[in-house]
Amino acid sequence: MEALVASAVGVLTAAGIFLILRRRTFPVILGLSLLTYAVNVFLFATGRLALDAPAVLNKYKDVPYTDPLPQALVLTAIVISFGMTAVIVMIALSAYLSSKDDHIDMTAQDSVDAPGEDA
Amino acid sequence: MSLFLIAALPFLGAVFPALLIRAGRNAAASAAGLTSFLAFAGLLIHAPAVMRGEVVTARFDWIPGLGLNANFMLDGLGFLFALLILGIGLLIILYARFYLSREDPMGQFYTYLLLFQGAMVGIVLSDNILLLLIFWELTSLSSFLLIGYWKHLPEGRQGARMALAVTGSGGLAMIAGMLILGNIVGSYDLSVILQNKELIQSSPHYLPALILILLGCFTKSAQFPFHFWLPHAMAAPTPVSAYLHSATMVKAGLFLMARMWPVLAGTDAWFYIVATTGLVTMLIGAVIALFKDDLKALLAFSTVSHLGLVTMLLGFGTKIAVVAAIFHIINHATFKAALFMTAGIIDHETGTRDIKRLGGLRHLMPITFTIGIIAALSMAGLPPLNGFLSKEMMLEETVHTTWLNSHYLVPGLALVAALFSAAYSFRFVGHVFFGPEREDYAAHPHDPPVGLWLAPAFLVVLVVLIGLNSAVLVGPLVATVSSAVIGGEKLPYYSLKLWHGFTPALYMSVVATLGGLFLLSLHRRADHVWNALPRPEAKVIFDAVIAALTRFSRWITDELHNGVISRYAIILIAFTVGLGYYAYATGTIGLETRVPLPAQTIPIIGWICLVGATLAIMWFHRNRLLSLVLIGVVGLIVSMAFNYLSAPDLALTQISVEVVTMILLLLSLNFLPTETPWDSTAPRRWRDAAISVVAGLGTGGLIYALMLRDFAFPTISEFHLANSYKGGGGTNVVNVILVDFRGFDTFGEIIVLGIAALIIFALTESVLGTNVRSYLLNRKPHWPQSGDAHPLMMVVATRVMMPIALMVGAYIFFRGHNQPGGGFIAGLIVAIAYLMQYMASGYTWAIERQRFYYHGTIGWGVLIAAATGLGAWFNDRPFLTSDFGYIHWPPLEEFEWATAILFDTGVFLAVLGAVMLALDSLSRFAWQPGMAQEHPMDINPLRDAPPDEDQDEKEHA
């Protein structure tokens, strides 16, 4: 089981990073999403894996519980990463609609055209 | 009055002039004056205690972890400086009221002045060097505002910048020095540091600390070679020059040297650095001052020279020299402030400060003449004025000083400096007031109103009285202050009197005075020579240095921050991978202590789906719609994995977040190109692939190793498991952690989420305000549009599901504390229920039925969460402590009620509002006129009602 989770985290990380290194906005957003999965699962797995042991207390008998702390951490991380994705999507969209260009890199020409520069 | 209040009063009072200026300039000035007066009176209350040699203290632990305590102390030294700062401050407030013209924003002036005053008082009363540093930097900042007060003058702005650059960078050096000092002693409290002379002077870090601290003092007190900022700061209005550059700010460096004297002085390093710098500064300042034609420039360089004098005396390291230094600080403050004010009066009344265009004013401005001549002769060091007394003492000390085995160097150079000092003082008198009256004054000169001359007149009265009867007037003060400086040891014998007999100092004084007169008679010729000499111009050098620094930082910025985001990303990732490799190569890894769980068939199938989908995304990522579908597969498997691995809360959260994220990405893809073109070269792709694979291997390997080992240390999870029910009243430990144990984190998080949503809203607003809107309205969709935008089946299905979905949301919310669920998940589920309506029935339809703004939902969420947290305060508990109890309402079963549920309500509302606001904003891009259909599945019961009622109803909505 551990090997499955670890290899999945590895594949998600590799794919996420590869896509983050692309030069258009949309693949970068996809890459960030994949990396988010990888990081969340990674954090979750730091609490070690356990089957059938949710951290919901049982009043009637003594049962093993999994580690609740990484779960609480990851729960907020999932929600926050939604906020982050939404902001990036919005920035990418606004940039594309304003300039009709979805490259993430500024070119030398862009910096010459940039407003507000003294030159 | 508490020392806290004395230090705080000017800051508090700084508000009033800015506000009261609407009530007139007198109101603003009176408010400033009253504040200063209160602080001054508060200080005087402590005078008897201080004069008895007691130290008044006020202590408050501010950030004890950092050693930063708001500790104040008032001893003789602090008392003298506070007296000068507040006393001369009062005179300046009076003087400035009449000096500034109607066009100058006077409210601002007094506000800046009081801020500065507060910072200065703070420096001299601090008993903690970190606190002192804060005030020190505050003086740099507030003096920047004061020097640049006349914003329309380029000299003012440049002078202010130069002063800030020089004193600010000196301040930075001093921070380092103070930290070293604090480290040596192990405390940042001055009273402790001052007890540890041996410890400090024997430390190997003594020299670096000394040099860094002195850098701060020398820059602030305009010592050579940092003296150049002071003359340029003369572009400030004269009240500022009189205040900052005679009595206060430039004395801060002297104050600190005196304050640190007991522990830093007495070594060779101290003597050679401080005394030599002081001597050189005294000499250079005096020589340059003689050749300045601008009255204020002359006074500025003379100030530089006198500051050098005091520095030199402190540098001698003898107790008697300290007495002379303290005495001269008092004397210099009185005559120099008066001289600056006199220069200001002359400028004000004749329209010029150029000595070459002045002369013969003694009959035209008799009062000014009287004030000016007394102050100037005191500066020259003539009896019976106070300047004579301290200059004699200084000369006397130089005679006893040996510099590198030379007995004559120090007294000789001091004599030359005194000679030039006499010469420029005589020039101030002779070339301005004496000589023939001129025809070409810029304005008709006459004496100013009493408001302008009252303050300098008061000061020259002091000059004369101290000169005539120093032992009675200032003797006790000098003694108290001096013994405070030398650390409470016994003072050597000295006497403050005019006649000491025929001493070497007297002969030197006579030589200096006569030589000064002689030099002045040669001034015209000397001036020609001086102007012909090549001299380094400080401003040119300073500007060149600053320009070079600017070029350098711009070069670095341009090179590093060139806008190529993919390059930043690759540097960051490659660096992180390198760090990981370094840790792996140098660290050791323990033995595997856990038995791996067996892999069953279904997880293996899930793994194949996930890895397959991920690889497919990499392969097909150019087809954007397809990659979105594939990423949905990944999200689904991840949530199933959470569920399988005992994390039902995570599974619920992940799957609902997945839904909203998908909707978000699909909406955005509507406006973005549907294909990603090829624009990386093959080698680049291979390079990226290699880095990604290495990073993936590293991350996967790390988590694999981690999962097979037990915790190296016991975790705090056990505490949460043990106390969740007892302390938090809930059995779902994850939820109890979120709303109770770590409630503060959650509170921060919902705020962040709300901010993210507001950013999205603001971006939408600003983008739609540009020509993007017309582009959107005219754009052709990527895909052919459906003839039926709102299919009947879907509309019916979603509307039927709406109450069910809301019910599920409520259920998930209420069970959250004890079973998987809670505010986060409920918020997402309810948001999805709303989004279904948006999708099925259309944006316009949904927006017409929306009765509240999502901004408000976010705000209420945060407020409710905060109010719940604050509620704990009323029960004397820390912020966000929760409480719970059990309620029994027959015939219901007994149920539990925890305040955490209120907090969770806040979380719920904030999440709901944030998700809705984000998606709502994005939907606005898709808005087209005419999208609202008259007769879709719109079952509006009012549709068939009479028209006017219908109208009413719409207005209400």
For B634, the closest of A14, A37, A68 (CB atoms) is A37
The 3-state DSSP class for residue A6 equals helix
Cis peptide before B891 (omega within 30 of 0): yes
Alpha-carbon distance B729 to B725, whole Å? 4
Interface subset of B 559-598, CB within 8 angstroms of A:
562-567, 569-570, 573, 594, 596-598
For B734, the closest of A11, A29, A68 (CB atoms) is A68
Give the count of Cβ contacts less than 8 A between chain A and B. Answer: 312
Question: What is residue B70's DSSP assignment?
Answer: -
Phi and psi for B938 in degrees, rounded to 5? -95, 95
Instruction: Specify the DSSP element, H or E, that contains B777.
Output: helix B772-778
Chain center to CA of B299: 33
Closest CA in chain B for residue A53 = B646
Res B24: pLDDT? 82
* Residue closest to B653 by CA, chosen among A4, A44, A58, A12: A44
**Residue B851's CB: how many other CB atoms inside 10 A?**
6
B692 touching A (Cβ < 8 Å): yes
- Break chain B down into helix, strand, coil percent, rounded to 5: 70, 5, 25
Alpha-carbon distance B246 to B329, whole Å? 10
Q: Taking CB atoms and an 8 Å limit, are B716 and A55 in contact across chains?
A: no
User: Distance from B769 to chain A by nearest Cα, in Å?
Assistant: 11
Res B929: pLDDT? 67
* Residue closest to B270 by CA, chosen among B178, B207, B320, B319: B207
Three-class HEC string of B605-655: HHHHHHHHHHHHHHHHCCEHHHHHHHHHHHHHHHHHHHHHCCCHHHHHHHH
Phi and psi for A23 in degrees, rounded to 5? -110, 10
Q: Provide the token pair at B238.
A: 């004269």
Q: Provide the token pair at B550.
A: 């600017």
- Break chain A down into helix, strand, coil percent, rounded to 5: 65, 5, 30
Q: Provide the token pair at B75.
A: 């001893």
Whether the Cβ atoms of residue B2 and residue B58 lie closer than 8 Å to each other: yes
Whether the Cβ atoms of residue B35 and residue B15 lie closer than 8 Å to each other: no
All residues of chain B having their beta carbon less than 8 Å from the beta carbon of residue A54 are 646-648, 820
Cβ neighbours of residue A72 closer than 8 Å, sequence gap 6 or more:
B734, B737, B738, B742
Chain center to CA of B523: 48
Alpha-carbon distance B801 to B608, whole Å? 34
Ordered domains of chain A (ranges, CATH): 2-53+63-106 (1.10.287)
Instruction: State the amino acid at position B256 in one-letter form.
Output: L
Alpha-carbon distance B840 to B832, whole Å? 12
* Residue closest to B827 by CA, chosen among B753, B903, B749, B905: B905
Q: Taking CB atoms and an 8 Å limit, are B614 and A12 in contact across chains?
A: yes
All residues of chain B having their beta carbon less than 8 Å from the beta carbon of residue A57 are 721, 724-725, 731-733
- pLDDT higher than threshold 60 for residue A12: yes
Q: Taking CB atoms and an 8 Å limit, are A68 and B720 in contact across chains?
A: yes
Instruction: State the amino acid at position A89 in one-letter form.
Output: V
For A9, the closest of B604, B703, B733 (CB atoms) is B703
For B724, the closest of A26, A40, A57 (CB atoms) is A57
Alpha-carbon distance B783 to B785, whole Å? 6
Alpha-carbon distance A36 to A39, whole Å? 5
Q: Provide the token pair at B78.
A: 């602090």
How many residues would you count in chain B? 957
For A42, the closest of B649, B692, B703 (CB atoms) is B703
Whether the Cβ atoms of residue B519 and residue B425 lie closer than 8 Å to each other: no
Closest CA in chain A for residue B816 = A56
For residue B57, what are the β-bridge partners? B73
Q: What percent of chain B has pLDDT over 70?
A: 96
Whether the Cβ atoms of residue A13 and residue A21 lie closer than 8 Å to each other: no
Dihedral sign from CA coordinates of B361, B362, B367, B372? positive
Alpha-carbon distance B307 to B248, whole Å? 12
Question: What is residue B294's DSSP assignment?
Answer: B
Alpha-carbon distance B508 to B894, whole Å? 100
Which stretches of chain B score pLDDT less than 50? Answer: 939-944, 949-955, 957
Res A28: pLDDT? 92
Domain residues of chain B, as ranges? 1-160+229-260, 267-521, 737-957
Whether the Cβ atoms of residue B720 and residue A68 lie closer than 8 Å to each other: yes
**Residue B780's CB: how many other CB atoms inside 10 A?**
5
Q: Taking CB atoms and an 8 Å limit, are A52 and B715 in contact across chains?
A: no
User: Distance from A115 to chain B by nearest Cα, in Å?
Assistant: 14
B884 touching A (Cβ < 8 Å): no
Whether the Cβ atoms of residue B326 and residue B484 lie closer than 8 Å to each other: no
The CA angle B237-B240-B246, to the nearest 5 degrees, is: 130
User: Distance from B567 to chain A by nearest Cα, in Å?
Assistant: 8
Phi and psi for B842 in degrees, rounded to 5? 100, 150
pLDDT in tens, B30-58: 889 999 999 999 999 998 888 888 888 88
